[in-house]
Amino acid sequence: MTALDLLDHALPATAPTFSPENPRQSLRKLLLPLFRRVAESSYAWRAESVGYWNTEDGRYWMPRLVFKRPGETPEIKIGIFAGIHGDEPAGVFALCDFVRALDASPVRGRGYELHVYPLVNPTGYEDRTRHARAGKDLNREFWRGSLDPEVALLEKEILREQYHGYISLHSDDTCEGFYAFARGHTLTEHLLRPALAAVEAALPLDRRSEIDGFHAEEGIIHTAYDGILSAPPGSNPQPFEVVLETPTHAPLHLQRGAFVLALVEILTHYRRFIAYGGDL
């Protein structure tokens, strides 16, 4: 099965969209069918909750989906995150697609335990705002003693799991194509190059030398904002850290497809690095 064939399995017959109806209803419509499907019939996925918090508008929870093939003791653990900016739905949908794709072809995830956090900022998603309802851009609050429950829950997860790699999905309304931030271990760029090449089946790359105010080379930026969702400062060994960005104005199904292609490619190449690199 090629990576492109996988997309046929990834895209559901009734694709969730940003509907103008009751936002809380659309949140349920998005996640509950996926959780039900995983609970009832998945071979390798488990659907879980990271935790709950209470707001004036009721209780919110953060979903987590865990991939591990039965009978396997994976050596590599990766965290994959989407929806920290509530007005960037493509990554949220893409992680739902990714779960379905690996469900259809679990061999693609061999050797991995994957922790997928498809919706990190549910209040922002409901409100269609970048910030959480309490007012913060959560992606500037990490490792600074934040009291925001979303950040506190994720920091606890990250400290406990010590991921080998971190992948975050975002969308940008100022870019001209798909691009990525490479941080952490120096191999990160070598994971990104083939991933970006695979993405070009769905979307063009942003090849400008400056994107979002940062210097960029062939769609890759090596610097980043402070306080973003990342490995704990000073992690040793150093994990790879990738932020993928789709152009918001591209058709949604192409953004979703591009994310799935990039994720599958990163997993394939990192497995090879681990197999042949040994000392990474």
Residues of this chain that bind Zn ion (CB under 5 A): 85, 88, 170
Rounded to a whole number of angstroms, the minimum distance from the CB of residue 198 to Zn ion is 21
List of residues 6+ apart from 231 with CB closer than 8 A: 158, 163, 166, 184, 238, 239, 241
Residue with Cβ nearer Zn ion (42 or 123): 123
Omega before 12 cis (within 30°)?
no
Q: How many helices (H) and strands (E) does the chain have?
A: 7, 10
Rounded to a whole number of angstroms, the minimum distance from the CB of residue 245 to Zn ion is 7
* Structure token digits, residue 161: 């799991």
Rounded to a whole number of angstroms, the minimum distance from the CB of residue 171 to Zn ion is 6
Rounded to a whole number of angstroms, the minimum distance from the CB of residue 88 to Zn ion is 5
CA–CA distances in Å: residue 9 to residues 96, 98, 100:
11, 9, 7
Order across the sheet with 76-82: list the strands: 45-55, 58-67, 112-117, 76-82, 165-172, 240-247, 179-184, 220-221, 214-217, 210-211
Residue with Cβ nearer Zn ion (170 or 185): 170
What whole-number distance in Å separates Cα of residue 106 and Cα of residue 149? 33
* Structure token digits, residue 198: 């695979």
Contact indicator for 69, 110 with CB cutoff of 8 Å: yes
Residue with Cβ nearer Zn ion (88 or 97): 88
Residue with Cβ nearer Zn ion (3 or 175): 175
Residue with Cβ nearer Zn ion (3 or 228): 228
Residue with Cβ nearer Zn ion (48 or 87): 87
> Measured on CA atoms in the order 228, 259, 213, 131, is the torsion positive or negative?
negative
Contact indicator for 94, 137 with CB cutoff of 8 Å: no
